[in-house]
Structure 1
Amino acid sequence: MYTSTRATTPQSLSFEEVVMTGLAPDGGLYLPSSIPKIPIADWSSLSFQDLAFQIMRLYIPSSEIPDSHLSSLISKSYASFKSDEITPLYNVNENLYLLELFHGPTYAFKDVALQFVGNLFEYFLQRKKSNPITVVGATSGDTGSAAIYGLRAKKDVKVFILYPTGRISPIQELQMSTVPDENVHALSVNGTFDDCQDIVKAIFADKSFASYNVAAVNSINWARILAQITYYFYAFYRVKGTVRFVVPSGNFGDILAGYFAYRMGLPIDKLIIATNENDILDRFLKSGVYAKGSSVKSTHSPAMDILVSSNFERLLWYLAEGSDSERGGTVCSYMDSLKREGSFSVPNSVLSQAREIFDSSSVTNDATIATIKKFYASHKYVIDPHTAVGVNTALRFLENHPATYISLSTAHPAKFSEPVNKALASFPEYSFDKIIPDDLKRLSSLKKRVTYVDASLEAVENAIKHLY
């Protein structure tokens, strides 16, 4: 059963309730109040799909989704992936692997979760013949296109994705704005990702908007995190032995899935947070102070251009002491302080717990470009700027802490032509045209459908009402 990170009285919600509502009425995020431990060796020979079934079965009661239905949902979700392994490993050298998470329909790691979430929404709606839902999400780039591709043409689902104008890559925008299905809409917001995220949260809290049955696809939706746990287990079984995962991190959802895998018993030595110059997570682990900073820096890795990492709230709940209700009160006090003062600090006991499993680093814009260039020179393998942040971090950690590192490769390089071309222009054999998939090439010839709105709750809600 599930509870909210901000609940101060006992809660017991079903899986379906937390998936379909997304954000809790108290503004908190849903999570399981206990994490199951599993026998690691038993699943080593399973396919990705079968492994996903075993993991999800631990968190989804069969009374809500029977075995045959869950198996079908998983198979359907990964049928469109371009690799039979779904998330294959690339062996860089004896100490470093890249976990390729970009083989889904939109070439980003978000597909692993959002193909499943889209099918979940449809499953629950059709089974109960519920009223249509309105999916509202904020994206710093990849979540939006993955959500749209996961939900396009779904019956009884309307989709509205907010993204910051001019702060995502051209291909990411085309992936969202050229989908012809009438049930999906791209909203370009004159602001930052944090503005978009704040507006989405405000929509969930707006009781006057309740008739639209709002649902979430961002990583605030627990099903997103659940689906991402699988590839930590899948990668571990293919490397064997204790490993360190390096995760390019913005909203903290991807690495949070790794934390759940660790708590379930996966022998992870460290989960290393790799940030760009928007380094709130790195600063927290070094100081115990979670502070917004003055403004978002625009970087070559825009999916991580975030001031406040929403999913960090879930980790804080697990690190807090006391009963579930006492933890909820502690998280409420942190979030209230963040809202009022722009920061909060945690006791040394909480910081020490976090440091037991997490480490971190930040990577500059120049270092990101240099890493893309150096990696191509050494391996003739093109990485995107977010993956470069992870690789740079992994290589630096390797110098002082020899171990087996798995760095998450979160997006296809073709989605970020400007920084990739900047890094590789000096190589005579390199051509961007050679690495861009045909279906991404065709996007520029398609008709765009995008609505431009101001960064305010009223403007966004009016746009949704007009487009509905």
Structure 2
Amino acid sequence: MNFISTRGNVGAIGFIDSILMGLADDGGLLVPAQIPQLSQDTLTQWSKLPYEELAVELFALYMGDDIPRDDLKALVHDSYSTFRDPEVTPVRAIGDREYVLELFHGPTFAFKDIALQFLGNLYGYVSRQRGTVINILGATSGDTGASAIEGVRGKEGIRICILHPNGKVSKVQELQMTTVHDENVLNLSVEGNFDDCQRIIKELFADVEFKQRHHLRAINSINIARILAQTVYYFYAYFQIAKDGRDAKINFSVPTGNFGDIFAGYLAKKMGLPIGKLILATNENNILERFVTEGVYEPGEFRSTHSPSMDIQIASNFERYLYYLYMEDPQAVTELMNRFKTEGRIVIPADKLQTVQADFAAYGVGNDECLDTIGKVKRESDYLLDPHTACGVAASSKRSESGEITVTLATAHPAKFDESIRLTGIEQQFPEQIEALFEKPQYQTLVGGSNAEIAEQLEKFF
């Protein structure tokens, strides 16, 4: 399997080279040259597999000969055998035809662990195989940073620098990142919001000389390995519910900020998984909802919400969807992204909007509605949602029809967002791993939001 850029100016490269490149050298995003198509027989065989074996089968389709199968099995086992639930991503019923897919059983209690435990081990493997230094640079709206650090801390041949917006992540998210004191970890607390952090990352990666000189590698969802790892749990969840004799198409409601998690579901559907609706759940930073309903992609006023990991205006994976919306035409994608850079907006024609609305439904959840949903589900099902999952459940109730089966992706443990949970009057008991964080010292450097200041820190660290 080879990978190509959405903008057409990167020759076909293998899987390992694609994860090392991260952001394509032409400024685009890497996508598979062809999406594997799964037969019904293959889906039937996969439906009987435990999570680790299912992950091996899916990864193998995209890795080709880059990683021997026995090595791949070991990487997958090392990544998921430490999760707190033996199913890795268990499915729980919260209503007659309503489920949540729990993605928070990894070391940092967030869905990002599923991709980043694997990517961290993968980078360690590549470093050993190629004898190369790997310097990871990433930005986080909260969960990616902690998961990425946990995935590579202490690993020989790897260093990691994470940018997070100062004061705009939850306290637990901040502690999970900044209480790590390994020599190969640098936390930069950036004055600004997540979009500022993400812009700096993309611009530094777009400086090819700087990127190559410092051996920079991506940990954000611009890295195609992140998308592939997240695709696995759509298959796994579908198969778990289908075992219950439910043969209707299954909807997935996905709390969405950067478009990576829902793009993984879109990829699963294009591979042949019979998904019904992909429901895009946003909060009051609802640029993606407006795109689905009106065909206009344009950042609005930034708002801080009870679901801070979704407080994102510019979705870094959106370009991958545009590539498929425009029939895999890299010239069209390049023109759209250039227009967005100069004009600050993208407007698609009516026929393309029809395609978007066939692919997705969308709903933007207000702050009060988010908290009301947490309280309602707790009262009716005795299940505590984190505020991001609550947005997904609220969107599911608005965009699923009566009788449809919908799975909402539960993206984080509620203990990570106790500031929001407390506003509902609900008290929760922290897991001991999270409770212990409050007694530890923090290590972070406060910096301004300019490329030059970040580059100076990287020069010293790398």
TM range (shorter): over 0.9
Q: Match of 1:292, as an amino acid?
A: P
**Aligned counterparts of 2:352 and 2:26: Cα–Cα separation in 1:** 23
Q: Could you report, residue by residue, the CA deviation over 1:370-397 in whole angstroms, capped at 9, with x for unpaired residues?
A: 1111111112211100000001111223
What's the TM-score, normalizing by structure 2? Answer: 0.96
Unaligned runs of 5+ in 2: none
Q: 2:273 is matched with which residue?
A: 266
Q: 2:446 is matched with which residue?
A: 452
Q: Establish whether residue 318 from structure 1 lines up as the match of residue 320 from structure 2.
A: no
Question: Superposed, which structure 2 residues align to 1:420-431 within 5 Å?
Answer: 420-425=421-426, 431=427
Q: 1:197 is matched with which residue?
A: 198
Question: Superposed, which structure 2 residues align to 1:210-359 within 5 Å?
Answer: 210-240=212-242, 241=247, 242-293=249-300, 295-321=301-327, 324=328, 327-359=329-361
What's the TM-score, normalizing by structure 1? Answer: 0.95
3-state secondary structure, aligned to 1:283: helix
3-state secondary structure, aligned to 1:58: helix
Q: 1:58 is matched with which residue?
A: 61
Q: 1:176 is matched with which residue?
A: 177
**Aligned counterparts of 1:397 and 1:27: Cα–Cα separation in 2:** 35
Question: Superposed, which structure 2 residues align to 1:45-194 within 5 Å?
Answer: 45-61=48-64, 63-130=65-132, 132-194=133-195
Deviation (angstroms), 1:401: 4.2
Is the contact made by 2:295 and 2:349 (CA closer than 8 Å) also made in structure 1? Answer: yes
Deviation (angstroms), 1:220: 0.2
Q: Could you report, residue by residue, the CA deviation over 1:103-146 in whole angstroms, capped at 9, with x for unpaired residues?
A: 0000000000000000110111101112x121000100000000
Identity of aligned residues (%): 44
Q: 1:439 is matched with which residue?
A: 433
Is the contact made by 2:94 and 2:383 (CA closer than 8 Å) also made in structure 1? Answer: no
Q: Could you report, residue by residue, the CA deviation over 1:71-100 in whole angstroms, capped at 9, with x for unpaired residues?
A: 000000002200000000111122100000
**Aligned counterparts of 1:208 and 1:220: Cα–Cα separation in 2:** 19
CA RMSD in angstroms comes to: 1.2
**Aligned counterparts of 1:350 and 1:31: Cα–Cα separation in 2:** 20
**Aligned counterparts of 1:71 and 1:77: Cα–Cα separation in 2:** 10
3-state secondary structure, aligned to 2:254: strand
Q: Could you report, residue by residue, the CA deviation over 1:138-177 in whole angstroms, capped at 9, with x for unpaired residues?
A: 1000000000000111111110000101110001000000
More off after superposition, 279-288 vs 200-209: 200-209
Is the contact made by 2:108 and 2:150 (CA closer than 8 Å) also made in structure 1? Answer: yes
**Aligned counterparts of 1:54 and 1:185: Cα–Cα separation in 2:** 35
Q: Match of 2:175, as an amino acid?
A: L
**Aligned counterparts of 1:88 and 1:19: Cα–Cα separation in 2:** 28
Q: Match of 1:358, as an amino acid?
A: F
Q: 1:428 is matched with which residue?
A: none
Q: Could you report, residue by residue, the CA deviation over 1:268-321 in whole angstroms, capped at 9, with x for unpaired residues?
A: 11100000001111000111111112x311000011101111101001101113
More off after superposition, 48-57 vs 353-362: 353-362
Is the contact made by 1:244 and 1:269 (CA closer than 8 Å) also made in structure 2? Answer: yes
Deviation (angstroms), 1:208: 4.5
Match of 2:379 among 367, 374, 377: 377
Q: Match of 2:273, as an amino acid?
A: L
More off after superposition, 31-40 vs 136-145: 31-40
CA distance 1:316–1:207, shift in 2 (3 Å): closer
Is the contact made by 1:269 and 1:357 (CA closer than 8 Å) also made in structure 2? Answer: no
More off after superposition, 24-33 vs 343-352: 343-352
